[in-house]
Amino acid sequence: MIRALVLLAALAFSAPAWAIADPAEALPDPAQEARAVQIGSQLRCLVCQNESIEDSGADLARDLRKIVRQHVAAGETEAEITRWMVARYGDFVRLRPPFNWLTALLWASPIIALGVGIALATGLRRKAEPPAPLSTDEQQRLARLMEN
Q: What's the distance, CA 96 to chain centroid?
A: 10
Specify the DSSP element, H or E, that contains 82: helix 78-89
Q: Which domains does the chain have, with CATH numbers?
A: 14-98 (1.10.8.640), 113-147 (no CATH)
| Residues facing 94 on adjacent strands | 43
Q: Taking the CA atoms of the chain, what radius of gyration do you get in angstroms?
A: 32
Q: Report the range of poorest mean pLDDT among 1-5, 76-80, 86-90.
A: 1-5
**57: DSSP letter:** -
| Residues facing 43 on adjacent strands | 94
Q: Is the pTM of this model over 0.75?
A: no
**Residue type for 98, please?**
P
Q: Report the range of poorest mean pLDDT among 21-35, 82-96, 105-119, 133-147.
A: 21-35
